[in-house]
C-alpha cells in the first residue's frame, strides 16, 4: 500500500469520527458504513486501527441517543424536585453553574433573598467550584448554604490582605448576618502560598462576623489566616480546617466539635 493511499484512508476515518461525534447523531448502521468504506480502501485495516485506537463498536453501543425531537441537555439529570415550593417557613433557591435552576452564582442567590426575612432561606448549591467572592450582609439573616459534600461543592476566591486592603476584607466568603448555617461544602482561599517574610499575604477563606452561625460537615482551606472567627457565637461540627500561620483566629466564642485540622 502506497503512502498516499494510507494517508487518504486515515483522513476518511478521522473525518467519520468527527462527523459522528460533533455534527450528526447517526445510527450504528451509518457508523459501520462509514468505517467500512474507509477501511475497504486498503487491506491494511490493522494499520488504521493502530493510528486511530478507538473501539468503534463500543463507541456506537454506549452512545446515548436522545428521543426523537428531544434535544440533549446538561440539565437532563438534574434533580427534578429542586428547588421545592416555598412554604410559610422556608424559601429554597437553587444555584447551578450550568444554568439548570434559579441562579448560576451564589452571590446572585444571596442578593435574591428578601431583606430581614424571618423565613429560613435555603440556598441549594450544586456540585462545583464557584469562583466568586460572596458577602452576606446584616440584612440577610437566616440563610443556609446547602452543598453536596465538602469535597464536591466549594466557594473559592484569591484575595489577600494586600489586594483587599486588609486581612479582614480578604475573605472569600464574609458573613455579617445572624443565624447563618452551612452544610456539606467548602470555603477556600486559593491565593499563592506566602513565602517566609512576605508582608500582606494573609488570605482568609471565610470571615464569620454574625451571631449564632453553625457549620456541619464543612471544609476550610487556605494558608495564612484561613478561618476568621471574627465575633459572635458559632458552632462547628465534623469539619476540616487546613492552614498554617494563625489558621484559626478572631474573637468569636465558638465550639469546635470533632474537628480535623491540617497545618
Catalogue the active-site residues.
246
Q: From CA 228, how far away is CA 171, in angstroms rounded? A: 8
**SS (HEC) of the chain:** CCHHHHHHHHHHHHHHHHHHHHHCCCCHHHHHHHHHHHHCCCCCHHHHHHHCCCCHHHHHHHCCCCCCCCCCCCCCCCCCCCCCCCCCCEEEEEECCCCCCCECCHHHHHHHCCCCCCCEEEEEECCEEEECCEEECCCCCCEEEECCCCCCEEEEECCCHHHHCCHHHCCCEEECCCCCEEECCEEEECCCCCCCCCCCCCCCCEEECCCCEEEECCEEECCCCCEEECCCEEEEECCEEECCCCCEECCCEEEEECCEEEC
Q: Phi-psi category of 170—alpha, beta or left, where left has phi over 0 and alpha has psi -120 to 50? A: alpha
Cis before 84? omega within 30: no
**SS3 label, residue 51:** helix
Q: How crowded is the C-beta side of 201, counted as CA atoms within 13 Å?
A: 17
Amino acid at each position: 500500500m502506497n503512502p498516499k493511499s494510507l494517508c487518504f484512508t486515515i483522513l476518511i476515518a478521522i473525518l467519520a469520527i468527527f462527523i459522528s461525534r460533533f455534527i450528526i447523531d447517526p445510527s450504528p448502521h451509518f457508523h459501520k458504513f462509514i468505517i467500512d468504506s474507509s477501511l475497504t480502501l486498503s487491506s491494511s485495516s490493522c494499520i488504521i486501527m493502530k493510528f486511530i485506537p478507538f473501539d468503534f463498536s463500543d463507541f456506537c453501543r454506549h452512545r446515548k441517543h436522545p428521543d426523537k425531537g428531544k434535544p440533549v441537555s446538561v440539565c437532563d439529570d438534574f434533580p427534578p424536585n429542586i428547588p421545592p415550593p416555598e412554604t410559610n417557613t422556608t424559601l429554597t433557591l437553587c444555584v447551578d453553574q450550568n444554568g439548570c435552576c434559579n441562579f448560576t452564582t451564589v452571590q446572585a442567590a444571596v442578593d435574591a433573598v428578601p431583606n430581614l426575612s424571618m423565613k429560613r432561606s435555603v440556598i441549594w448549591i450544586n456540585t462545583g467550584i464557584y469562583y466568586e467572592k460572596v458577602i452576606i450582609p446584616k440584612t440577610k439573616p437566616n440563610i443556609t448554604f446547602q452543598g453536596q459534600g465538602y469535597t464536591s461543592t466549594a466557594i473559592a476566591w484569591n484575595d489577600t490582605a494586600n489586594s483587599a486592603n486588609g486581612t479582614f476584607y480578604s475573605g472569600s466568603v464574609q458573613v455579617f448576618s445572624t443565624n447563618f448555617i452551612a452544610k456539606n461544602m467548602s470555603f477556600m482561599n486559593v491565593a499563592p502560598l506566602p513565602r517566609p517574610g512576605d508582608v500582606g499575604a494573609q488570605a482568609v477563606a471565610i470571615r464569620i462576623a454574625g451571631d449564632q452561625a453553625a457549620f456541619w460537615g464543612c471544609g476550610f482551606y487556605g494558608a495564612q489566616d484561613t478561618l476568621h472567627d471574627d465575633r459572635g457565637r458559632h458552632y462547628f461540627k465534623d469539619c476540616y480546617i487546613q492552614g498554617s500561620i494563625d489558621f484559626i483566629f478572631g474573637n468569636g466564642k465558638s465550639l469546635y466539635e470533632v474537628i480535623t485540622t491540617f497545618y
